[in-house]
Every structure is written in structure tokens, then in C-alpha cells.
Chain A
């Protein structure tokens, strides 16, 4: 079954995130694990034309919550768009992959696979709105996908884009909201009047769908759902640190580093994770 294949791929991706996070002693591991399944669903099922031959008309993915860049790098490595060697030197002195996204490499050349440089929250989303409108105007059939965070959704720019995305009727745009209900220093549902989030997007003129962000069947279903004349938003209920029990739903895993000891424990937890 396609879901089984994706589950196994997601397990590999999580393993490589833990390993590289340990090597680089970098933060945001929880944020990366929370959106891993969404990225795997996109890159190993949904996105079209990522092969060399069709690259020029590929679907576009923009990681707006770019502090989870390590998850995207892990997926792109598995896709062969980043080499294992490059990924191993993530976040390291003289490496080529920073902790947030840069579409140029250190030599200033455009990097394949990173569509948009991002890091500050509430940027990639608006670029995605502009891009999808651009492709629509050009009669280009490709689709644009964008992943945003729930903390990120407090940015005013997100709601500006929500107003105009609906007005521009960008029905070639699908936004995924990684709703793990944990941000830098608290829970979105406690920090602001976050809920009802689906109703908010619907009121802004978007077509919302709600899924379990770790259930591939639900994710794939939502990705196929129609949204004629409207942009789509998939609100994916997720768990920060998903897959490693001691990281799950823990705010500290927005920041903590994976020590060698913790890495072993984490990898064991991942192995035990069987659907």
C-alpha cells in the first residue's frame, strides 16, 4: 500500500533528522519531526515533475516555517536533490546548508530544490500567494504548496495574504498548517485567540480541510480534495517531536540539542515506532 511506503520513508527521514541534528548540535528538532509526515506526503506522493527531464515545470513547494529546514533537507537528500555529504555538514563550519533556507549556495549559485530563501516567519506564505497567482496568469498548470506553522499564523502578513489569496482565487495553491500547538514560548491556543482556526480560514474565503497530520491516508485524501475557485488550507493536527516519545509535545524540543546519548535513545524509539 502507498501509505506503508510513506510510513517507511518517514521513518528513514526521521532517523536522518536525528542523526544530522546530533552531528550538528542544532535546534528545532521538534519542529522538524512535527512536519515530517507532511513533507514526505508531498515529496513522495503529491509533487509532480521533480525529475530532471520535467524539472522546468515542476510543482513548487515553499517551506514558510523555515526553522524546520532540516526536515526539508532530509527529504531532499532522500530525493537526491541534496547529496548525503552536503546534508551531513548541515549547520557546520564551511558546510553549505544553513539552519534556515537560502536558495543560493555559498558561491552564490542557485541551489536546486530550495525554491525560496526563508527563515523569518510570515514570508514564504505571501511569496506562495504571489507565485500561484503568477502561474495562473501565465496559464501554467503547475501547483504551489506551502507549509506554515501555527506560531507563524500570528504574523499579520499571514492574514494579509489570507485576504488577498482568496480575492485572487488562487485555486492552484494549497497551504498546509502544521498545528502542533507549541511555539517558542507557549501554546498558540493559549497565547492568542487561535481557535476556531478552520472557521477563520473559511471566513477569509479559503477551503479548509482538517486532518491528522501523521495519518497518511487522511493527508493524501485532503491533498486530493477539490477547491475550485479558492485556495485550499489543510489544517494538520500534529505532535511536536513526533516519533520520539521523550520529545513529543515538549516545548523544550523547540530548542534542545540531540546529544550522542539522546540520539541513541531517540533512534531506539523510532525503531519501536511501528504502525
Chain B
């Protein structure tokens, strides 16, 4: 997804002369083409994240369409106040491209994981949050972000994700239905989607499977419409279970007084000390295909 997003931006940059990429010393092998083609519209602002975001804001104020690329903790956490005050408060259409969602970088340690970025980003008014599940959604997200007049945060894992869609979705600001079904609906965002797809393969029951690439603002009205005949929602995300999509959906369900139960599959809110690779982590925290399948079956059992 990382390469798809950057390739899309690089392609657009030949037409849109305002596109500018700033990195905080990340992007080895990813930003090379852009940098070679558009050296004047590229800056590596080093390991200085506060300045990176402040400068991005300043450049945006002079008319550039600025894309900031970094590993998520160094894009949103280290410089949270800059993102809040300099980008979102000023309502600048800067695109924040974050890589390493969830525990993409496992077992590097939790300093490099981003398991609370959605809940942090959700606290920022004006900020649009996109979390694509596959390269097709990612391309659409990049196009959306480049045209957005508001700040956008794109949450990415790395590269090499399998396509879940057959073709590029027409819209990413709406729920993307991947599998039709009823009774139980699985809602997810991001690269953990592959686990959801695996979980629903060769399954006797037919749950509805929906990817939600746009988390903020969430088009709950559209989502509600597609949830006809659903009694159980299962949210799946490679993010803390409390504060992410699961929490957001729960709030909406309560607010709309829907008669649905919500099961949140996510990472337990704790500092992760386990040393495991991505699939090990997903198994450990119950967001791998087996755990998802179990929850789906449980959901269908409850119906009877």
C-alpha cells in the first residue's frame, strides 16, 4: 500500500505542480523516484518531527499541496501538538501519510507500533482519517487525499499486501462491501482485512464483510443501510480495542438505538512486551483469522 500511495502521488505530481513531499528521514527506497523527478518539491527534514510538521504547515500556507511521510509514531505522537495546532486548527489540506500501522514492525518494540493512532487522530477536528485495507483502496485514498481541502491522515502498513477488492472501489468515503451476507457483519479497517477474508473463506455461515477505509468522518448512515438483517456486529482492527473503530461503531449503535450487539476484536490496551512477528502478534491478541472465525460462529450461534 505504501508504494501504491507514493506511486499515485508521484504520478499526480507531474500534473499538479503544487504537490510537495516532506519526510522525517523515512522512505528509503520508497521516495527515491519522487525525489529524483521533483527535487525542488522534496525535503528530508530529518529527525526533527516538530519542525517537520510546522514547516509543512508553512509550505501549505504558501499554496503547496504538502504530503508528510513518516512512521506513524513520528508523524502523530511525537508532534501531536503540531498536528493539532499547526495543521488541523489552521485547517490546512496537508496529507499525513503514516506507515507501520498496528504491529507492522513487530518485533521492533512498541515504540515503533501504532496501536493507538486512530483514537489519537479521532481527537482532532477537521482531520479526515483513512485506513485502506489493500492497494486498491490505498490508491483511491491517495487520490481522495490529494483532492481534499481538509487535512487527511492515511494509515498504512507497509507494502506487499494482497488485494481484497476485485477492482478499485468507486468511493472510499463509504462502506465498501466485500462479501454479502446477513445476521453477522464483520467491520474492519486496514491491513488486518486479510485475516477477515481468510476467516470467512470456506465458512458455512455467510457473514456480511465490510471494509471501512474512511473512519473519520464515518458515514454511519450509509453503514446502517447496509446492515439490514444484521443482529451482531464484529469489529476487527489492528489497533487498541478501546478507542478505535470498535468504540466508534459502538457509540453510533447506542446513539441510533440499534438493536445490535457489538463485539470488538482489537489489541488489548496495554504496553506490548511480547516479542513476536506480525502473525504471532495477531494470534496472541485475538485478531487473526482463527479468532475472527470463532467470533463469527459465536455470533451466528447467538441468533438461534
Contacts and interface: CB of A to CB of B under 8 A. Distances in A.
Interface of A: 103-104, 115-120, 122-123, 125-135, 137-138, 140, 156-157, 160-161, 163-164, 168
Given A118-B85, A127-B86, A138-B63, A133 B48 contact: no
16 contacts: A116-B61, A118-B85, A122-B50, A123-B85, A123-B86, A126-B53, A126-B54, A126-B86, A129-B51, A129-B58, A130-B55, A130-B62, A137-B64, A157-B50, A157-B51, A161-B55
A108 B82 CA distance: 20
A131 to B, nearest CB: 4
A131 B58 contact: yes
Contacts of B48: 160, 163-164
B298 interface: no
A180 to B, nearest CB: 24
Interface in B50-84: 50-51, 53-64, 81-82
Q: Is the interface of B mostly helix, strand, loop or mixed?
A: helix
B46 interface: yes
Given A126-B51, A164-B45, A164-B51, A131 B86 contact: no
Contacts of B58: 126-134
A164 B49 CA distance: 12
Given A117-B90, A160-B48, A164-B45, A127 B54 contact: yes
A137 B40 contact: yes
A219 B248 CA distance: 55
Contact of B54 (A103, A119, A123): A123
A131 B90 contact: no
Given A117-B85, A120-B81, A126-B86, A160 B51 contact: yes
B91 to A, nearest CB: 8
B89 interface: yes
B283 to A, nearest CB: 40
A134 B51 contact: no
Contacts of B50: 122, 126, 156-157, 160
B131 to A, nearest CB: 27
A123 B51 contact: no
Interface in B85-116: 85-86, 89-91
Task: Give the interface centre of A119, A157, A163 by most chain B CB atoms within 10 Å.
Answer: A157
Contacts of B40: 137
Contact of B82 (A104, A123, A134, A140): A123
A135 B55 CA distance: 12
